[in-house]
Homo-oligomer: A and B are copies of this chain.
Amino acid sequence: MNSQTRVSRRGRLISGVAMMSISIAALAATPVSPPRAWTLQDIAAAPEVVDLLISEDGKQATYIIRRGDLATNAKLSSLRRVDLATGVDRELKSSSWLSELRIIPGSTDLSVLADIGEGVQLYRIDGTGRFEAVLVNRDLDQVGSAMEGLHPFGISDYGWAPDGKSYWYAKRTSKAADARTVNPRFLPLFTAYGSSPIELHIRGADGRDVMLDRIDATAAGFYAVEWGADASSLTYWARASDHESFEHRRWSRKQSKAEVVGRESDFYAPRHDIPGPRGGSLTTTGFGNDRKLIETLRDGSVIERGRVAFRLGDPRASQNWRSPEGDVALIGIRYYENPRYGLVRVTRSGGVDEVRVEGSLTHCSVNRAFTAGVCIRESMVSPPELVRLNPRKGNVTSVVDLSPSHSAIAPLRIVPRMWTNRDGYKASGYVVYPRNHEATRKYPAILVTHGGDADQRFASVEFQWDYPVQAWAERGYIVIAMNEPAMSDSAELTAAYAQWGGSGSLPLERVQDLIWINTVRSFEAAVEDLAAQGVVDAGRVGIAGYSAGSQMVNVAMTQSKMFRVASSGDGGYLEPSGYFSNSSSYRAVYGGSPYDRAAVPRYERLSPTFRAARAAGPMLQQVAGGHSTQFELNAALRDAGVPTELVYYPDESHLFHQPRNRLTAMQENIDWFDFWLLGKEDSDPAKAEQYGRWRAMREKWSAGR
């Protein structure tokens, strides 16, 4: 076994099936070190599966895994192939960029976007793992995203026609043409996303190239591109030129230009139908635990499938399939309580059978014959593992551990919870216990939040960003990994969110209360509950969140006295100057501009910048964006004498992509919470200036109260 092959050495978490003999054998053959504790390096190097595909014969799976590489200070992607019978896992290619792994129809070959030295281009991969260029565009553009730094892109997306010969592709055009953007909508984010217009092309089986459409760079891309039954038509979504809505466009070979066939507001972004076993479309009705699964048939009639504890269509859940005979649908779901991702088999005869595992099943792939499948199994404490799935029977067997270095860490103890706030709204979350937790002690606590991302994925950067949840637990903090009350779990919240994203008739103050104040009350409910149980020391509780979480942190700190200190990551929504790049959404919250005297009282009611003088405690902002909204909150807090620090990480994306910056930001959060909650300082002499600043802030803050 060389360093490029590995097999599972974990048998844990498998339910409903016998462990495979290969796993047992490997376990016996591998020297096992004693379980160890989490380090910040482990968090920065946590793996993320990008794509997973099973071969049509069900014998192999090919996947892309990406992880932070501290040596190169970048993310490294690895394309790997697993023999599902033996569990032997072989690397085909290592690269700074690999994505969009696809089966080429009518072939056993795959295709992928990869940077193998010429920017990101489109390649074919044959059965031996050999790469062959399909399309290379040498007019490269630096393109990034909220999750990734800039990469040189030649081809940015593609999709095979059913004939396996034609394909559509998207590329940036040359900057030289005309790099201006007239009336852009999202200027501050713009440079991170590439600066050239994006073109949608079709390359025919005969090699002829047709440009179908072109949109400006800020529109980011084409979505849900789908071929018609053959290669003669294509439908897709794109941002309308007014940037206020999405257009569904259709091109056919008879037309020179795509036509608009539908339009949706920003709030209702492109969606796919979920196929049911009666030829209809599956969805759920109702909210929370009252949800029912229904299938809407083509004639409009509805078949009820009974009450379910999950919902469909979550973008973090797996895709959906229907058997060739149409009698079984395999559907990706997210559970309501203990939010995890899974699969259900919905059969024509009426069955709704969950595929039972502990943790989550994500990134599943099923062959067209519906005879074989693979998934990633992971949980908040268990690193990703490749598993086989029998799509007909719904059982799962372990194949190979995808991150042995993380499997060597002793799992932390987590307990899923639901909390009900004083207004009756429920919110889910997890209590992450400190290593060697003592039931008789009260612990300091940090609540971490990011929308609904507190779930059963492993060290998910989308949830925890640069908040070192695991390292805090190792250091003796209780971490409350907490979701907001979900829109999808309440009719009233759905109405409030719909009004925020489009239209409605609630008073604006009610929208403010339902979305933001209500969430703060859920946070308070969680802390009060854990304090009442004697688990948490209510006088030493902090709060942290990025993006949507940052918004909630900023509101929590200026509405509640529950949290003594906060860390707020690359956010700014709700801060007043955001009105000017996002006015329609702000109007739904505030009714107008912050310079409009009629709207000012609503800003004073909710906007953290307007309420800075009421802040309950010190606030750290770690930012990559450098938006005016981040600045104004910082300035308002400073003006009000509240300890605050704004730390700018240059050349970063919204989710930091440089592992060393992640280490630095995580350490900064450790220092910040230790200082303000525990009065502790790191003795590293290099940090003297930091503690000098913080001590001066603390003195001024104590004197002023």
Residues of A participating in the B interface, judged by any CB pair closer than 8 Å:
73, 175-176, 178-184, 187-188, 190-191, 195, 217, 576-577, 579-581, 583, 593-595, 597, 600, 603, 609-610, 626-632, 634-636, 639, 645-651, 660-661, 664, 690, 693
In chain B, what residue has the closest Cβ to A195? B650
Interchain CA distance A593-B600 in the complex, whole Å: 13
**What's the nearest-Cβ distance from chain B to residue A196, in Å?**
9
15 new A-B contacts at CB < 8 Å, known A195-B651, A579-B632? A175-B651, A182-B648, A183-B634, A187-B631, A188-B628, A191-B626, A191-B650, A580-B634, A580-B635, A580-B636, A581-B628, A581-B635, A593-B632, A593-B635, A595-B610
Chain B residues with CB under 8 Å of A593's CB are 632, 635-636, 639
A29 to B559: give the CA distance in the assembly, Å.
Answer: 83
* CB-based contact B648/A187 at 8 Å: yes
Copies of this chain in its oligomeric complex: 2
**Assuming A595-B610, A647-B181, A648-B181, is B577 touching A580 (CB within 8 A)?**
yes
A183 near B646 with CB under 8 A, answer yes
A184 and B648 in contact, given A595-B610, A610-B595 (Cβ under 8 angstroms): yes
Closest partner residue, chain B, to A597 (CB atom): B600
Selected A-B contacts with CB under 8 Å, 21 pairs:
A178-B664, A179-B649, A179-B650, A180-B649, A180-B661, A181-B648, A181-B650, A182-B693, A183-B634, A184-B648, A187-B626, A191-B626, A195-B650, A195-B651, A576-B595, A580-B628, A581-B628, A583-B639, A593-B636, A595-B636, A597-B600
Report Cα–Cα, A581/B178, bound state, in Å. Answer: 31
| Among B176, B184, B597, contact of A646 (Cβ-Cβ < 8 Å) | B184
**Contact across chains for A631 and B580 when beta carbons are under 8 A apart:** yes
Complex: A181 Cα to B627 Cα, angstroms: 15
The answer to whether B610 and A182 touch across the interface, beta carbons within 8 angstroms, is no
A661 touches B594 (CB 8 A): no
In the bound complex, residues from chain B placing their C-beta under 8 Å from that of A636 are 580, 593, 595
Q: Are B577 and A176 in contact (CB under 8 A)?
A: no
B217, B645, B660: which contacts A183 (Cβ < 8 A)? B645
Which residues of B lie under 8 Å from residue A628 when comparing CB positions? 188, 577, 580-581, 627-629
Residues in B whose Cβ lies below 8 Å from that of A576: 577, 595
Give the distance to chain B from A577, nearest Cβ to Cβ, in Å: 4
A187 to chain B: closest residue by CB: B626
Determine if B645 and A182 form an interchain contact, defined as CB atoms under 8 angstroms apart.
Answer: yes
A646 to B185 Cα, complex, angstroms = 10
Contact of A626 among B190, B579, B649 (CB under 8 A): B190
A53 shortest CB reach to chain B, Å: 36
Closest-CB distance, A584 to chain B (whole angstroms)? 11
Closest chain B residue, CB of each to CB of A218? B648
Query: What 4 pairs between A and B have smallest CB-CB spacing?
Result: A628-B628, A580-B632, A195-B650, A577-B577
Contact, CB under 8 Å: B190 / A650: yes
Instruction: Output the nearest chain B residue to A142 by Cβ-Cβ distance.
Output: B651
- A580-B635, A631-B187 known; A180 vs B664 contact (CB < 8 Å): yes
A632 → chain B, closest Cβ, in Å?
A: 4
Residues of B within 8 A of A693 (CB): 182
Q: Tell me, in angstroms, the Cα distance from A627 to B631 when the chains sit together.
A: 12
Q: What are the residues of chain B within 8 A of A603 when measuring CB–CB?
A: 595
Closest B residue to A579 by CB, please name it: B635
Contact check: which of B180, B583, B594 meets A594 at CB < 8 Å? B594
Interchain nearest-CB distance for A93 vs B (Å): 27
User: With the chains together, A595 CA to B634 CA distance in Å?
Assistant: 14
Minimal beta-carbon separation of A670 from chain B (angstroms): 15
Contacts of A580 in B (CB 8 A): 577, 628, 631-632, 634-636
| Chain B residues with CB below 8 A from A631, complex form | 187, 580-581
Give the one of A190, A627, A639, A649 with max B CB within 10 A: A639
Collect the chain B residues with CB atoms within 8 Å of residue A650's CB: 179, 181, 190-191, 195, 217
- Chain B positions within 8 Å of A600 at CB level: 595, 597
Would you give the shortest CB distance from A697 to chain B, in whole angstroms? 11
Contact A648 B190 (CB under 8 A): yes
Q: Which residue on B lies nearest to A639, using beta carbons?
A: B593
A171 to chain B, nearest CB (A): 18
Q: Across the interface, which residues of B come within 8 angstroms of A647, CB to CB?
A: 180-183
Q: How far is the CA of A176 from the CA of B651 in the complex (A)?
A: 12
In the complex, A580→B634 CA distance in Å? 8
User: Which of B597, B610, B632, B649 is A577 in contact with, Cβ under 8 Å?
Assistant: B632
Please, which residues of chain B bring their CB within 8 A of the CB of A184? Answer: 646, 648
CA distance A18 to B647 in the complex (A): 63
A651 touches B595 (CB 8 A): no
Could you say which residues of chain B place their CB within 8 Å of the CB of A597?
600
Task: Kindly provide the distance from the CB of A475 to the nearest chain B CB, expressed in whole angstroms.
Answer: 22
| Smallest beta-carbon distance A558→chain B, Å | 13
